[in-house]
Chains A and B, each alone.
Chain A
Amino acid sequence: MKSYVRFLTFTLVLPILIFTVLLLVPDVTYSAITGVCSTCHTMHNSFQGQPMAKYSNGTSKPTPNPVLLITDCIGCHSGPVGDKSTYGAPIVYHTSNPGGTGPGKTLAGGDFYWVAQSGGDRKGHNVAGLANQDTLLGFTPPGWDPNATAGTKHVVAPSGWTQQLTCYGTYGCHGWSDGINYGLKGHHSNLSGALTSSDIGNASSVGASYRFLLGIWGYESSDWQWNATSATHNEYYGVNGNTNYSNKHTISYLCAECHGVFHSQTGGSSPWFRHPTDIVLPGTGEYANYNNGSGYSLASPVARPAIGSSSSSTVTPGDASTSNGAIVMCLSCHRAHGSEYDSILRWEYSNATQAGCKVCHTSK
């Protein structure tokens, strides 16, 4: 009899009870970001009669910031050491030399520290507020080709760039792009883990995109790769043969929105004119021995033709369809934000070791 009661309890009563409790929970959809509102926001930019807003460098700012924020992108996402700022935000700009890129030093995107230094133009994206305009390139990104990514949300006029690169917006990488002042507006609608939303039609899509990169797919490592290993890391999305960028969800498509020539004029097949991206890493020859068969390389990562529910240490050259597959991407060689190396590379190109080009080109 007791076992029968226990059976009823677990198979009938308990589920009904749980369902009832769920019904009583208010209709609330919570986002990934958590924390006290006042950590990031100030309602009136006033505390005891003094301004609450701050400049990027932490000094008091008399005028308020958009979205009632205490500080701006750089102010939130910078700090001297570690992975998070005093606001709890991932640090992309270390104010002290992090001593290199990679786990325990910088997050996955690298760091703006080096480009912010005098003469550092080649070591990162010259984002306004972090670095001056690139002395050699001016405003316009190298390889800019507005025709390479038709339909891009980054709607810079074909006549050219008229202002410096920003963190977000029309002239930036993150966020909603129709208007520089619209802002990011993704932190409270942010999703995490595997992100493969096809909806890029509204600003709320930002939070559903990989790292607030509108429309881009990927798997977000929860610690932004501060403690990354070959098994625990971001996963980037790539598509084999995406030469005309009909697929607008790959990480290389995002790069091509500003650097289109590097992607639209590659030649289509070997012999290449420019190093291709969004192309499967061949399963033959030297490529078959990617990273000496040791699996995913954090130094020369590959994109995946499918985004799994977790990251994987397995890399299968020649696989253009599964979440263990291998697609060459821009980030196979470059950091997104900045690095200690010229051309924002992941390694010292003039002295490429096994950790560099030869992770793929194993016989070179």
Chain B
Amino acid sequence: MTNGTSSAQPLLLKYTCLGCHGMGGSQKIAYIGDIPVPQVLHTDPSGDLAGGNFAYITGAKQGNGTNPNRFGHNVIELGEAFRETAFGNDPPGHVHSFYGVDVRKYLSCAGYMGCHGDKRYYDAPQGTAAIKGAHHNNLNGKIDPPGTANPPGYYYRFLQGVKGYEISDWQNLDSTHHNEYYGSTSAPVNYGSFCENCHTSSGGVLARYGTISNFCATCHGNFHQQSTVGTSSPWLRHPTDVVIPNTGEFGNYTVYDPSVPVGRTYVPSSPSSTVTPGQDVVTCLSCHYAHAGPYPSMLRWNYSNVEAGRGSVSGCKVCHRNK
């Protein structure tokens, strides 16, 4: 009864994660019965959902580059043929090693070496088992639960601990219709310097501060922590969870551009078309897709085409307006 395998699935499910959410069909929102199911691997020419599309890795959709592995997170559910071959054992920017474990073999949709679901425990399961109950106690719209110990269904897109506003059709379409990502107001949180910034006392993983960038940092901490990013200009790496200045070139980003989304320092009840420099923040997702996209480094635009001094206001220059 299961998708592509004869073995039984955890939670008595018929399908795996991708079995439901990566059917590879031509619709970005497919239906199982009368249930709309957001697709993260599809060939719909009308566009992708907010998190991107794993089809750029598999080749079902054509990306801009010669190495499809650079287009997204190579989750093992895609199959052995699409496993990452570069890097070492650890994700790029990881603060410390996975103690000899080759994470490329285990990066999963959910679980201890995945993104979704509850991974607060060292022995948390992988795959669908990690999101037990989430589909049935899922909240939507404004996601701002107290604390971090609720079931994964209580958090933004089942990302344990993360807050945000979930747009109902999973699509960042325009300035008025999009998810809202949660960010913090201060310089980069001191990710990585203290175990509890990313870990629980039981050895699991948790984005304690609830921001989307804090969540990314649990795997890519060196791209976010103060000691490797800096605390103010001149930065050593591009900062996240830092306020977009309301001075100079940054002050001109005032209308929400879904191709360069900003984070909010609060969890809104609805999407806003306004960007407020001096208040809104840079997030990892300001530049990157979460799942996969059509450009190398999972970027939202073709970085090799963004030029200083000429060209349109797009990509980096949506914020860096005068570059």
Query: Does chain A have a CB within 8 A of B304?
Result: yes
Known: A43-B287, A183-B234. A188 touches B86 (CB 8 A): no
Tell me which residues from 177 to 206 in chain B have a Cβ below 8 Å from any Cβ of chain A.
none
Tell me which residues from 63 to 99 in chain A have a Cβ below 8 Å from any Cβ of chain B.
63-68
Tally A-B pairs: CB < 8 A.
Answer: 85
User: Of A35, A43, A183, which is within 8 A of B307 by CB?
Assistant: A35
Known: A28-B313, A30-B309. A181 touches B234 (CB 8 A): yes
Query: Does chain A have a CB within 8 A of B14?
Result: no
Give a binary string over B75-93; 1 marks a CB under 8 Å from any A CB, 0 the rest: 0000000000011100011
Please name all residues of chain B whose beta carbon is closer than 8 Å to the beta carbon of A33 when the two chains form the complex. Answer: 308-309
Contact indicator A35/B308 (Cβ below 8 Å):
yes
Contact indicator A66/B236 (Cβ below 8 Å):
yes
Q: Is the interface of B mostly helix, strand, loop or mixed?
A: loop
- Chain A: residues with Cβ within 8 Å of the partner, total of 32
> Of all chain B residues, which has the CB nearest A53?
B236
Contact indicator B313/A188 (Cβ below 8 Å):
no
Contact indicator A31/B323 (Cβ below 8 Å):
yes
Query: In the assembly, what is the distance between CA of A45 and CA of B234, in Å?
Result: 15
Contact indicator A68/B235 (Cβ below 8 Å):
yes
Query: Does chain A have a CB within 8 A of B176?
Result: no
Please name all residues of chain B whose beta carbon is closer than 8 Å to the beta carbon of A43 when the two chains form the complex. Answer: 237-238, 287
Tell me which residues from 201 to 256 in chain A have a Cβ below 8 Å from any Cβ of chain B.
204
Query: Does chain A have a CB within 8 A of B137?
Result: no
Contact indicator A185/B234 (Cβ below 8 Å):
yes
Contact indicator B235/A31 (Cβ below 8 Å):
no
Please name all residues of chain B whose beta carbon is closer than 8 Å to the beta carbon of A35 when the two chains form the complex. Answer: 307-309
Query: Does chain A have a CB within 8 A of B29?
Result: no
Please name all residues of chain B whose beta carbon is closer than 8 Å to the beta carbon of A37 when the two chains form the complex. Answer: 303, 306-308, 316, 323
- Chain B nearest CB: distance from A84 CB in Å? 16
Contact indicator A44/B93 (Cβ below 8 Å):
yes
Tell me which residues from 11 to 68 in chain A have a Cβ below 8 Å from any Cβ of chain B.
26-38, 43-46, 48-49, 63-68
Query: In the assembly, what is the distance between CA of A33 and CA of B222, in Å?
Result: 30
Give a binary string over B288-313; 1 marks a CB under 8 Å from any A CB, 0 the rest: 00000000000000011111111011
Query: Does chain A have a CB within 8 A of B64?
Result: no
Contact indicator A30/B307 (Cβ below 8 Å):
no
Contact indicator A68/B237 (Cβ below 8 Å):
yes
Please name all residues of chain B whose beta carbon is closer than 8 Å to the beta carbon of A68 when the two chains form the complex. Answer: 235-238
Query: Does chain B have a CB within 8 A of A139?
Result: no
Query: In the assembly, what is the distance between CA of A49 and CA of B89, in Å?
Result: 10
Known: A46-B93, A181-B234, A182-B234. A31 touches B322 (CB 8 A): yes
Contact indicator A34/B307 (Cβ below 8 Å):
yes
Query: Does chain B have a CB within 8 A of A189?
Result: yes
Name the interface size band of chain B: 20 to 34
Known: A27-B252, A37-B316, A38-B304. A67 touches B309 (CB 8 A): no
User: Of A26, A45, A48, A181, which is within 8 A of B313 by CB?
Assistant: A26
Please name all residues of chain A whose beta carbon is closer than 8 Å to the beta carbon of B312 when the two chains form the complex. Answer: 26
User: Of A34, A49, A63, which is within 8 A of B309 by CB?
Assistant: A34
Query: In the assembly, what is the distance between CA of A65 and CA of B223, in Å?
Result: 13
Contact indicator A188/B287 (Cβ below 8 Å):
no
Contact indicator B304/A36 (Cβ below 8 Å):
yes
Query: Does chain A have a CB within 8 A of B228?
Result: yes
Please name all residues of chain B whose beta carbon is closer than 8 Å to the beta carbon of A66 when the two chains form the complex. Answer: 234-236
Query: Does chain A have a CB within 8 A of B321?
Result: yes
- Chain B nearest CB: distance from A206 CB in Å? 13
Known: A35-B307, A64-B228. A188 touches B234 (CB 8 A): no
Tell me which residues from 142 to 196 in chain A have a Cβ below 8 Å from any Cβ of chain B.
181-183, 185, 188-189
Query: In the assembly, what is the distance between CA of A181 and CA of B236, in Å?
Result: 12
- Chain A nearest CB: distance from B286 CB in Å? 11
Query: In the assembly, what is the distance between CA of A63 and CA of B230, in Å?
Result: 12
Query: In the assembly, what is the distance between CA of A319 and CA of B34, in Å?
Result: 89
Contact indicator B322/A46 (Cβ below 8 Å):
no
- Chain A nearest CB: distance from B220 CB in Å? 8
Query: In the assembly, what is the distance between CA of A185 and CA of B252, in Å?
Result: 20
Please name all residues of chain B whose beta carbon is closer than 8 Å to the beta carbon of A32 when the two chains form the complex. Answer: 309
Query: In the assembly, what is the distance between CA of A286 and CA of B308, in Å?
Result: 50
Please name all residues of chain A whose beta carbon is closer than 8 Å to the beta carbon of B86 when the two chains form the complex. Answer: 48-49
Query: In the assembly, what is the distance between CA of A46 and CA of B86, in Å?
Result: 12
User: Of B223, B228, B235, B310, which is within 8 A of A67 by CB?
Assistant: B235
Ordered by A's residue number, 30 sampled pairs between the chains whose C-beta atoms are within 8 Å are: A27-B321, A28-B322, A29-B322, A31-B308, A31-B309, A31-B323, A34-B307, A34-B309, A35-B307, A36-B305, A36-B307, A37-B303, A37-B307, A37-B308, A37-B316, A37-B323, A44-B93, A44-B223, A45-B237, A46-B92, A46-B93, A48-B70, A48-B86, A49-B88, A63-B236, A64-B228, A64-B237, A66-B234, A185-B234, A188-B308
Extra contacts, 9 of them, besides A26-B312, A44-B223, A67-B233 (Cβ < 8 A), are A29-B322, A30-B310, A30-B322, A32-B309, A43-B238, A48-B87, A49-B86, A68-B238, A183-B234
Query: Which of A's residues lie within 8 Å of B, judged by CB?
Result: 26-38, 43-46, 48-49, 63-68, 181-183, 185, 188-189, 204
